Structure formats: structure tokens, C-alpha cells
Structure 1
Amino acid sequence: MPHVIVDPESRSLAERFALIKSPSRRRARFPEGCVTIVASEVEALAGRDEAHKLLPAIVYGPSKSSEGQRLYYLVRWL
């Protein structure tokens, strides 16, 4: 995960299970439009679809970038 300041008291920033639409696994942050938050690890794993580039992961966010986009940071791929 890139260097991200984690605020343990934040109500909006948290680690979450997600499906990420990404052509590769090399990126470390993803715009909100590429991330679908799901309820559990099981749901994330069940949503994997290599043909449509949907990959299960744990992400941290959303946080705002300097450009005003909401981003999720990759914690790890599942």
C-alpha cells in the first residue's frame, strides 16, 4: 500500500472488501468509478471475473486526491 495516513477515528475511511475493475495488478490506487464495495471477503471472491477484469481486493478509502477525485488505495489482492 502506498504511504497513506490512516486515521483510526475516521468514520469514512476504512478497509473494505471490494471488486476492482483493472487491466493489471500493478496499480496501487484506484478511482472510485473502478471500485465496487462488497459486504464480505466471500462476496469479493465470488465476484472475480477475469474476462471482465474484475479482481477481488481489500482497499482503504475513499480519500480525496489533490485533483478532487475520490480514491481507494489497495491494501492487498485476495
Structure 2
Amino acid sequence: MRGYSLDPHPSVKVVTEQYAVVRIPRVKRERVPANNVEIVENLEQAVEKSDPKNHLYAAKVLGPSRSSEGVILYYILDMYNHS
């Protein structure tokens, strides 16, 4: 997985691409709060834990990153099981 720094301060931990299950009310979201993200080991686990009827989707995310408002976010890079 590649790492990125989304915070301009050099001492900030590098964010990474990870697989996750995200709870979102609608599929067309670009970012989600950290408390709506469950990081998992791999894509297979994310798909297994997903449940679109309950707004849980398998995704590849980038994060964590702090927004200008101080909220910890993950950016959705790809969604895998939405219909």
C-alpha cells in the first residue's frame, strides 16, 4: 500500500490506502468520518462484512486525515459492492 501525507506538518503520521467497511447513507460520498470506518485486513474481509441494506459498503480508503475543522476523515478511493 502506498503512503501519503495530507497534512502539511512534517511530523504528522503518513496516511495509507487501506481496505475498510464504511457506513454511509448514500454511495456517492468522497469522504467519511473515522467513526464510520472499520479498517479490515483485505478486500475479501471488507466484502464479507459489507451489508448495503444497512448502508455498510466495502471500500478502499485513504486516511486517516484531519480536515480543516479538525475532524478525522477517510477518503473513499473505490467502492466494491454497491448496486
Map of 1:69 onto structure 2: 71
Q: TM-score, normalised by structure 2?
A: 0.79
- 1:39 is matched by which residue type in structure 2? E
Which blocks of at least 5 consecutive residues in structure 1 are unaligned? 1-5
Map of 1:3 onto structure 2: none
Larger RCO (alpha carbons 8 Å, 6+ apart): 1
Identical aligned pairs, as a percentage?
A: 34
User: How far 1:23 moved relative to its partner?
Assistant: 1.2
1:25-63 CA-to-partner distances (Å, cap 9, x unmatched) read 111000001111001111001011122210000000000
Superposed structure 1 runs of 4+ greater than 2 Å apart: none
Q: 1:23 aligns with which of 18, 25, 31?
A: 25
Task: Give the distance between the partners of 1:12 and 1:21, measured in 2 at CA.
Answer: 24
Task: Give the distance between the partners of 1:40 and 1:11, measured in 2 at CA.
Answer: 22
Aligned length: 71
Structure 1 vs Structure 2 CA RMSD? 1.4
Which blocks of at least 5 consecutive residues in structure 2 are unaligned? 6-11
* Rg larger for: 2
Q: 1:35 aligns with which of 37, 56, 61?
A: 37
Q: TM-score, normalised by structure 1?
A: 0.83
